[in-house]
Amino acid sequence: MSRKTNPKLTVVGAGPGDPDLITLKAVKALQNANVVLYDALIDPVLLEHCPAETEKIYVGKRPGQSHSQDWINELIVEKAFAAGHVVRLKGGDPYVFGRGQEELAYARPFGIETDYVPGLSSALAVPGNAGIPMTARGVSESFWVITGTKTDGSLSRDLCLALCSTATIVVLMGMNKLQEIADLCVQMGRADVPAAILQNGTTAEQRTAIGTAQELPRLALEQKLSNPAVIVLGEVVRYGSATPSTDWQEFLQNGQFFDTRG
């Protein structure tokens, strides 16, 4: 195959799971792709936006699979020069724990044109789809989005800082750290803060478990919840367990939302 003179990389966010939540700009990128490198959480329906001749390569990271980030970076460059326009299709938003910036930065020194198409982050869309807002007047005025598992495998220390506030806390990639999260909440005096586990958010397979922070491991075990899932901590979780007819103004006035820091 001849070497292409105009190699290009577009890093594209596919959204949180529901294929209808991809953006129009993302669809246009797929329609003009020569190669698509896609992740594990991508709904295969999205690949139907590509031309029939587009090469589609699965590069997802799952236990037992050998798709390292270094290998993916090298493949991006190889395919860009061999085929032209490479679309790197990632779940959620590539700039929210998605390594999108790393892949763009790797490609640029090779003279590859780069572009970025934002996606709807699961940190916002998945709780919202379950009726849980990130902020709510009189309840939460800010939110944190934290990784549950850092590169070295440890739980982010930022969770301690977040638990000192009244902010909503969203933990991504934290299902393997549920006991640590629960224990830390107990240590920080936040054992009873409302908590939710949202599995397969925005898809037909979405499942929701709501309780308190100290109950997170039990909820996951009893309801057999696993990855992919989003964990939410904060008073706004109460909205997710309410009925549509709830009078929220009355709910607030009656003091049913409270500061669980003691």
Q: Which residues of the chain have pLDDT under 70?
A: 1-5, 62-66, 242-262
**What span, in angstroms and rounded, lies between the C-alpha atoms of 23 and 26?**
5
Is the pTM higher than 0.85?
A: yes
Furthest-apart CA atoms within the chain: distance in Å = 71
Please report the pLDDT score of residue 85 as a whole number: 98
Does residue 183 form part of some domain?
yes
Q: What CATH number should be reported for the domain holding residue 190?
A: 3.30.950.10
Q: In what order do the strands lie in the sheet with 55-58?
A: 55-58, 35-38, 85-90, 8-13, 113-117
Short-list 46, 114, 47, CA closest to 76: 114
Q: State whether 44 and 67 are in the same domain.
A: yes
Q: State whether 98 and 191 are in the same domain.
A: no
Q: State whether 110 and 143 are in the same domain.
A: no
Domain boundary among 64, 98, 117: 117
Short-list 184, 181, 63, 168, CA closest to 126: 168
Domain range enclosing 26:
8-117
Please report the pLDDT score of residue 257 as a whole number: 47
Please report the pLDDT score of residue 64 as a whole number: 58
In tens, the pLDDT along 109-142 reads 999 999 999 999 999 999 999 999 999 999 999 9
Q: What letter does residue 213 receive in the DSSP assignment? A: G
**What span, in angstroms and rounded, lies between the C-alpha atoms of 131 and 109?**
44
Structural domain total, the chain:
2
Please report the pLDDT score of residue 243 as a whole number: 44
Please report the pLDDT score of residue 143 as a whole number: 98
In tens, the pLDDT along 64-86 reads 566 899 999 999 999 999 999 99
43: left (phi over 0), alpha (psi -120 to 50) or beta: beta
Please report the pLDDT score of residue 130 as a whole number: 96
* Active site (catalytic) residues: 39, 61, 173
